[in-house]
Structure 1
């Protein structure tokens, strides 16, 4: 399927419940819902039957999709009020080939198969049995039709919810990202801190925080223009992103201020990370002042660590300025 069911998906739970009810009511060997691809291979998304029959994830080979046979219930063929359905009853089905490895209960005697489409994706509902079912044909046709309608509505609702979720994720990503660098902005970084703090309150774990301040950005802006300053910021952001781990949260807090939240990082690992950052910045000739703070026991809040790291960063900046003055003097 183009869009699979998600864990805990309410649409899936609803479909499974409906299929169970239909199977029990009809006395069928199994009921399945499958999606069809262009090569006429159907992948079973959900199936509910006896343990020796089809299971979720099994594959079927569709020799050819059944022709639509119109059956009018509640009226004659000339009636405009009759209920129309394209459910087809196949006594000797040449269309669906059940693997002998999947079905060991003997030949299939009857199949009620109803195809439908949701957002241009093909599906079919299949009710099959290797014996006579409990309901007469008209009732079976109506049952399959109602099950199909239920599946169609559930799948359409699922697709709609997935599209809404994707749009919300996009909006949240735009709202929490820095447009110039692609890193988290201050809002996104605050959200990351809040999530990490909640996790640490439940499962105490080490964490480290780094804060950075680019040296000389104002001079670059005044001398070469803000476009050059933006390129300088982007270069630093790239270095920061390449040096940090995938699990770290890197952010541009504004202007020349940056920060990194490093989960599962104790003081020893933070020292190693700081050494690695200094080496990268020195080799890349990007002067930057930074400080960091760690909590190994999981007892200090991340906000308090930021205060410590920020103070260390300012102390580092002052010492660098004094060193520069001595070198110039």
Structure 2
């Protein structure tokens, strides 16, 4: 069991124990109050208050732990990270099938040139800008991830080619709007694959085929321009 799971289980167990202790304490407090004995009454009420405070601390700790746990799956750019991506792949691999699961792979162009000519801070901003735009495609069936330095992935469930093209078209429009307002133009290669009844793939093959198509697209994009200058992709 991982440390995170162990801590969560421990907090849950202690919270249950404290709840039981508070119930017992309430019963004892009522009993003491009925017998109208001052010192036991004070001690019992004090103990009850302390129990409630301790229980509240445990609940707050549990909430903090849950927040820390969720942060473990968020990239510094604000999008889901590689760990979240790997967990999603595991969940889909353990599902009954991968029918109508789609994968879109993205790779940013020109990141090295941005870093070399404008500095790593601008390179980070380049990545963050694309991450923010890509995150906008997400819903209950669609999840976006940063899986490498300049590599991204979108996993879609219960999807089809029409929806994927709609997402790609929408993303391109948003990128164009961004590029019109910013000196550093976002450029990216993309490739996708879908698991269907005619062409059924497990997740490993599905991601490989999407990745292969993305690199094919990247080769076709060599010579793209960034900020008015010819750059190597």
Shorter-chain TM-score above 0.5: yes
Whether the aligned pair in 2 keeps the contact of 1:267 and 1:295 (CA below 8 Å) is: no
| Distance verdict in 2 for CA 1:243–1:188, change over 3 Å | closer
Q: Does 1:307 align with 2:208?
A: yes
Task: Kindly state the Cα deviation for residue 194 of structure 1 after the two structures are TM-superposed.
Answer: 1.4
**Aligned: 1:178 with 2:75:** yes
Instruction: Give the alignment's Cα RMSD to 1 decimal.
Output: 3.8
Q: Distance in 2 between matches of 1:205 and 1:215?
A: 31
**Unpaired segments ≥5 residues, structure 2:** 1-14, 180-185
More strand by share: 1
Query: Which residue number corresponds to residue 166 of structure 1?
Result: 63
Aligned length: 193
- Counterparts of 1:196 and 1:159 in 2: how far apart (Å)? 37
Aligned to 1:268: 162
The structure showing larger relative contact order (alpha-carbon pairs under 8 Å, at least 6 residues apart) is: 2
Q: Does 1:189 align with 2:85?
A: yes
The yes-or-no answer on 1:224 pairing with 2:113 is no
Q: Please state which structure has a larger fraction of its residues in helix.
A: 2
Pairs within 5 Å for 1:112-123: 119=52
Pair 1:284 & 2:178 matched: yes
Three-state SS of the structure 2 residue aligned to 1:212 is strand
**TM-score for both structures, normalised by structure 2:** 0.67
Superposition pairs for residues 77-226 of structure 1, below 5 Å? Answer: 84=41, 119=52, 156=55, 160=58, 162-163=59-60, 165-179=62-76, 181-199=77-95, 201=96, 205-226=99-120
Structure 1 residue runs without a partner (length 5+)? 1-9, 19-32, 34-67, 88-115, 121-152
Contact 1:250 1:258 in 2 (8 A): yes
CA-CA distance at 1:170 after TM superposition: 2.6
Q: Aligned equivalents of 1:282 and 1:289: distance in 2? A: 14
